[in-house]
């Protein structure tokens, strides 16, 4: 776990791929526990450490994320998430298939909790994103995605439903080869500091294949 920034109110970290955000049925080591252990050890905190989970990344997805170190910070950051002033930018590699240079997607997404899959359905919740193509090669396109809403599996489903599934997406891309890592990365977070009101921006760069197509 790479620490990007920390102060008395925030802990911004780089989530490794294939690590759950919090404890799940797999019982694998999760990011929230790792972050709490880091705070406890560094600052010699007795007892339980408070750390608020503000937003989530899918287990196979790596990149930048923020935790709140106080309940007040958690409340204020959560409000920014709900009113969409906390901005999340992702990098993804998708199957090109004549993808337009930029676009705006709006869909209603419905989650099946039994199978942990999501589909486009008018009974679902509104999902909105904007994207622009940064590079193309061999029927792959590197896109920058500005997420306007934070629905489960949103980027993966909105692109795959338009015949542009993400490279290596084992769940929504029928062409994915078993063992491939999904090409989705939480590239940048922008938000207002919960106490100082300072505009903050944090980036998690990536240059590994297939992001460097």
Q: Quick one: pLDDT at residue 122? A: 97
Q: Quick one: pLDDT at residue 1? A: 84
Burial class of 109 by CB neighbour count within 10 A (0 to 12, 13 to 18, 19+): buried
Q: Quick one: pLDDT at residue 207? A: 87
Count CB neighbours of 23 within 10 A.
12
Q: Quick one: pLDDT at residue 130? A: 98
User: How far, in Å, are 8, 74, 78, 131, 145 from residue 126 at the CA level?
Assistant: 35, 24, 19, 17, 17
Q: Quick one: pLDDT at residue 40? A: 95
User: How far, in Å, are 31, 72, 130, 139 from residue 64 at the CA level?
Assistant: 12, 21, 19, 28
User: How far, in Å, are 60, 86, 115, 139, 140 from residue 93 at the CA level?
Assistant: 14, 23, 25, 10, 6
Q: Which parts of the chain have pLDDT scores under 70?
A: none
Task: Indicate which residue of 28, 58, 121, 169 is catalytic.
Answer: 58
Q: Quick one: pLDDT at residue 54? A: 95
Instruction: Check if 58 is active-site.
Output: yes
């Amino acid at each position: 776990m790479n620490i990007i920034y920390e102060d008395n109110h925030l802990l911004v970290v780089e989530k490794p791929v294939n690590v759950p955000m919090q404890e799940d049925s797999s019982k694998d080591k999760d990011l929230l526990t790792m972050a709490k252990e880091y705070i406890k050890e560094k600052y010699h905190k007795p007892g339980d450490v408070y750390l608020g989970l503000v937003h989530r990344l899918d287990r196979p997805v790596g990149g930048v994320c923020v935790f709140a170190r106080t309940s007040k910070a958690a409340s204020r950051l959560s409000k920014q998430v709900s009113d969409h002033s906390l901005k999340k930018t992702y990098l993804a590699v998708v199957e090109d298939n004549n993808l337009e240079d930029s676009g705006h997607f709006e869909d209603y997404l419905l989650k099946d909790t039994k199978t942990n899959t999501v589909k486009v359905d008018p009974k679902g919740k509104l999902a909105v994103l904007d994207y622009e193509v940064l590079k193309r090669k061999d029927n792959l396109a590197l896109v920058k995605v500005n997420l306007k809403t934070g629905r489960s599996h949103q980027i993966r489903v909105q692109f795959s439903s338009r015949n542009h599934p993400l490279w290596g997406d084992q769940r929504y891309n029928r062409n994915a080869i078993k063992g491939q890592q999904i090409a989705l990365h939480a590239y940048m977070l922008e938000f207002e500091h919960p106490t100082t009101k300072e505009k903050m921006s944090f980036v998690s760069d990536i240059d590994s294949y297939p992001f460097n197509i």
